[in-house]
Structure 1
Amino acid sequence: MGYGICLETWGDYALFSRPEMKVERVSYDVITPSAARGIIDSIYWKPAIVWRIDKVHVCNPVEFTNIRRNEVSSKISARSVDSVMNGAAKPLYINTNEDRQQRASMILKNVRYIIEAHFELTDKAGETDTIEKHYNIALRRMRKGQCYHQPCFGCREFPANFRLLEGDVPESGLIGEKDLGYMLYDMDFTDPENIKPMFFRAVMRNGIIDLSACEVVR
């Protein structure tokens, strides 16, 4: 844990979709660990390291609002891509005017989180991949506000601002314990042919969700 980081991130809106909602999008009450990891990955990602989320500090009270958005109702299949790459003469695009549909979403507003995380070396790390090297690069990028692509809160239209938090973590002001139920933890990519979701029981105590010793259910 000596090479951990503390990242503050905030934005106007967020949508961390519950998978059990099939038609309309409904957000979880707080950011999911996979979304938190995605924000850090957008800042600094390498095959040699993997980020682990330790704690999530919820700084603002949970507030919801409703919106309606236009979304595409289909996607390009892998079979179509393969056929075009093999010489098939057929269009490879989505006509948004024809495949567009309007969907309601219950999203979060005025969100602010503090993410405590650390990284571990993977089996793809080489001889020159040291913990100190990647740690210093990650700190430098976070201090300068650099990222590979704009981090977001669940959807690209909800950008996430971020800054490296150095020093003591401020208290959130949320008092008490709240059981948020089962939430998506992350996706298990161990078998690329059978990717499985992982869940955990989220409990927020005084605005903090501790993930360092949570039980993950597959």
Structure 2
Amino acid sequence: MSRFCLQVAGPLACFTRPEMKVERVSYEVMTPSAARAVFESILWKPQIRWRVQCIEVLHPIRWMNLRRNEVSAVVSTRNVQQAMAAGGGNLGLYIEDERQQRAGLLLRDVAYRIHADLELTERSTDPLAKYTEMFARRARKGRCVNQPYLGCREFAADFRLVEDGEAVIPPITETRPLGWMLHDLDFSNPIDPQPRFFDAKLEAGRVQVPPFSETRG
């Protein structure tokens, strides 16, 4: 097991609460699943997994309201299957017909320091050092498989690797409960993954992430 630390930042973020069905309302702090996705955007293989351990909040929590145009529909699976069988078809969505405005409560001017352990899965036949060196090399050069984002893909994140012994800015000093927060999805049943939650607390600007086995459905 190897531990890495990334610092991520961006002008906007939205870690959407799943209980909000229509409007996008963000959690107050980055979720563990969003943090995991940042690490996986730099390096992911079936032979490894990322375990997020701690999230540090570096900027004060600030909010903004934003109303955006969104598309209210998706291309149906049935239409795709029919087009594949026929060798062609119209799979387009017309924005003018499907447009709707939705309000969002977003975070602005965010920065986090996220700590995660790199572990091998049962599918790995190579030593951990191989993937450790691969990730460190890619993170130092700013390389990624896809652009990391802060909750929603339109909110791109800048990232950099925090090296051991590097001088860093301290997290905010705020301490307060954050309530039940999404930890990650349980893929025990790949057809129907289920969300798992934990009772999150911000303690001197840090959120300690419990093991997945201690979460609740």
TM-score range, shorter chain: over 0.9
Question: Aligned with 1:35: secondary structure?
Answer: helix
Residue matched to 1:44: 43
Residue matched to 2:138: 141
Structure 1 residue 213: Cα displacement: 4.9
Structure 1 segment 104-115 matched on structure 2, within 5 A? 104-115=103-114
Length, aligned pairs only? 215
Distance 1:112 1:53, change over 3 A: same
Query: How far apart, CA to CA, are the structure 2 residues paired with 1:41 and 1:152?
Result: 11
- In structure 2, which of residues 155, 158, 162 is the aligned counterpart of residue 158 of structure 1? 155
Question: Aligned with 1:114: secondary structure?
Answer: strand
Structure 1 segment 6-155 matched on structure 2, within 5 A? 6-87=5-86, 90-125=89-124, 127=125, 129-155=126-152
The letter of the residue matching 1:184 is L
CA contact (8 A) 2:198 2:210 kept: no
Question: Aligned with 1:103: secondary structure?
Answer: strand
The letter of the residue matching 1:150 is Q
Structure 1 residue 137: Cα displacement: 0.2
Which ranges in structure 1 are unaligned for 5 or more consecutive residues?
none
Distance 1:123 1:84, change over 3 A: farther
Deviations 1:85-141 (A, max 9, x none): 22265311222222111111000001000000012212332x3x2210001000000
Question: Aligned with 1:135: secondary structure?
Answer: helix
Residue matched to 1:196: 194
What TM-score results when the alignment is normalised by the length of structure 2? 0.93
What TM-score results when the alignment is normalised by the length of structure 1? 0.93
Question: Aligned with 2:34: secondary structure?
Answer: helix
The letter of the residue matching 2:92 is Y
Moved more, 192-201 or 171-180: 171-180
Structure 1 residue 28: Cα displacement: 0.3
Deviations 1:122-166 (A, max 9, x none): 2332x3x22100010000000000011111111122110000001
Question: Aligned with 2:45: secondary structure?
Answer: coil
Distance 1:82 1:124, change over 3 A: farther
Structure 1 residue 76: Cα displacement: 1.5
Residue matched to 1:175: 173
Q: What's the C-alpha RMSD, in Å, of the aligned pairs?
A: 1.7
Query: How far apart, CA to CA, are the structure 2 residues paired with 1:117 and 1:178?
Result: 23
The letter of the residue matching 2:204 is N
Question: Aligned with 1:120: secondary structure?
Answer: strand
